[in-house]
Chain A
């Protein structure tokens, strides 16, 4: 499984756009990039998944450059309720190995 590296923590003010970058230098050809969000005392929640270029949904955007060695989760106009831990995962779409979560990025949104 490709190893991922992301910042341990980030701070942002309400209303700002937040970009969290994940590095995955040894991503494999059949790997997808998936982001999860976790609030305290709850299980992680799927946010977005992509393979290349840009993916957007009602919650976030995911930018993946051509070499796919990194990806950036973009949260538009964050609010206090976006304070959470964000995990970047790299794995085959439907593989035989379990999903491994790293330490994630703790985002703190300040009023």
Chain B
């Protein structure tokens, strides 16, 4: 069974641009969560989707948004990028929400 796939693996953007990251969950998993990881703040929860509905949202500005499609694939978007948005963005899927998480390898975003 294929694991969680995140694309792209690396991304370099400049301040003010916007970016879209993609996540394909494990087949059959309907819940997708997104996390931001930085050396200073650790792993921080961004949002969680289940059956195309956002169930929970972390404490991030409105520039961070996401969505989930009918096939459970998810995307997250960050608009008006700031230097502080440089981070590893991790996606995780689970069968029902809140159960054991399976993480992808992440997208390393660098904002210059």
**Of B55, B58, B92, which is within 8 A of A43 by CB?**
B92
Known: A93-B99, A98-B58. A41 touches B45 (CB 8 A): no
Q: Is B21 among interface residues, defined by CB-CB distance under 8 A?
A: no
A71-105, CB under 8 A of B: which get 1 and which 0?
Answer: 00000000000000001000111111111111110
Compute the total of residue contacts between A and B using a CB distance below 8 Å: 61
Q: How distant is the Cα of A100 from the Cα of B91 in the complex, in angstroms?
A: 14
Inter-chain contact B98/A99, CB cutoff 8 Å: yes
| Size category, A interface | 20 to 34
Q: In whole Å, how far is A101's beta carbon from the nearest beta carbon of chain B? A: 4
- Which residues of B are found within 8 Å of A42, using beta-carbon distances? 103, 105-106
- Which residues of A are found within 8 Å of B55, using beta-carbon distances? 96
List which A36-85 residues lie within 8 A (CB) of chain B: 36, 41-46, 49
Beta-carbon nearest neighbor of A94 in chain B: B98
Q: Which residues of B contact A (CB under 8 A)?
A: 4, 33, 35, 42-43, 45, 48, 55-56, 58, 88, 90-92, 96-106, 108
10 new A-B contacts, CB < 8 A, other than A42-B103, A45-B103, A96-B97, are: A36-B101, A43-B90, A43-B92, A44-B43, A46-B100, A94-B98, A95-B97, A96-B55, A98-B33, A98-B58
